[in-house]
């Protein structure tokens, strides 16, 4: 029984590899009205149904620039990202490249006196595929450089100068890559 199952799995992987190599990888669509996250695939286009497990890695890029430089970024801000590389299962594109995603900014620290640097921290929320949202987990963060060396040097020369020395702002420019992971199983079903 174990050998038959392994052989079937190898056949599935081979068929999926042929679709990918030929550049004809089918794209899954979300099944409307399904209670859990599941993706429907046309009967002839997918080798077999399957489950993309929770914890599947997804690579994103920032779809906008965020920074503490202008001191307007606040906690709760929803940052826009997009999927950089498609996520596939058994030769089927489950999460297409370019799919929009969101992250929530959970902590913002602006640069300040005595060499304090800026910092941005956030958590991944979800990626949208069709009309469904797939929960994500992961952290986005950026930290500016501290001005500690400048503070120490300036204090040695003029004691109050350290008060005016700051670190740098935190920034995540548009296009910055970010890693995230699915936070739920995604089931592929055949139509």
- pLDDT category, 129, cuts 50, 70, 90? very high
pLDDT in tens, 7-17: 333 333 333 33
Q: Phi and psi of 152, rounded to 5°? A: -60, -45
For residue 163, the model assigns a pLDDT of 45
Task: Report d(CA 123, CA 139) in Å as an integer.
Answer: 5
Task: Report d(CA 191, CA 39) in Å as an integer.
Answer: 10
pLDDT in tens, 22-45: 445 566 555 444 434 555 544 444
Please count the structural domains in the chain.
Answer: 1
The range of the structural domain enclosing residue 107 comes to: 2-190
C-beta of residue 91 within 8 angstroms of C-beta of residue 68:
no
pTM above 0.85, yes or no: no
Give me 146's structure tokens: 């501290």
Q: Please report, for the domain that includes residue 25, its CATH number.
A: 2.40.128
For residue 124, the model assigns a pLDDT of 97
For residue 25, the model assigns a pLDDT of 59
DSSP 164: G
Task: Report d(CA 91, CA 169) in Å as an integer.
Answer: 43
Task: Report d(CA 131, CA 87) in Å as an integer.
Answer: 17
Asked if residue 109 has pLDDT above 70, the reply is: yes
Handedness of CA 78, 51, 30, 44 (dihedral sign): positive
Give me 75's structure tokens: 């906690």
- pLDDT category, 138, cuts 50, 70, 90? very high
């Amino acid at each position: 029984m174990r050998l038959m199952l392994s052989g079937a799995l190898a056949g599935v992987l081979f068929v999926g590899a042929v679709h990918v190599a030929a550049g004809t990888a089918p794209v899954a669509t979300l099944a409307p009205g399904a209670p859990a996250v599941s993706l429907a695939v046309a009967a002839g286009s997918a080798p077999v149904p399957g489950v993309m497990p929770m914890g599947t890695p997804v690579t994103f890029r920032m779809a906008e620039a965020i920074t503490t430089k202008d001191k307007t970024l606040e906690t709760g801000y929803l940052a826009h990202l997009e999927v950089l590389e498609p996520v596939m299962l058994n030769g089927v594109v489950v999460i297409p490249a370019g799919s929009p995603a969101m992250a929530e900014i959970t902590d913002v620290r602006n640069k300040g006196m005595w060499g304090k640097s800026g910092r941005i921290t956030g958590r991944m929320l979800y990626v949208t595929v069709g009309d469904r949202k797939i929960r994500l987990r992961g952290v986005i963060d950026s930290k500016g450089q501290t001005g500690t060396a400048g503070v120490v040097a300036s204090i040695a020369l003029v004691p109050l100068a350290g008060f005016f020395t700051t670190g740098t702002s935190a920034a995540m420019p548009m296009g910055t890559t970010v890693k995230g992971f699915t936070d739920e199983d995604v089931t592929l079903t055949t139509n």
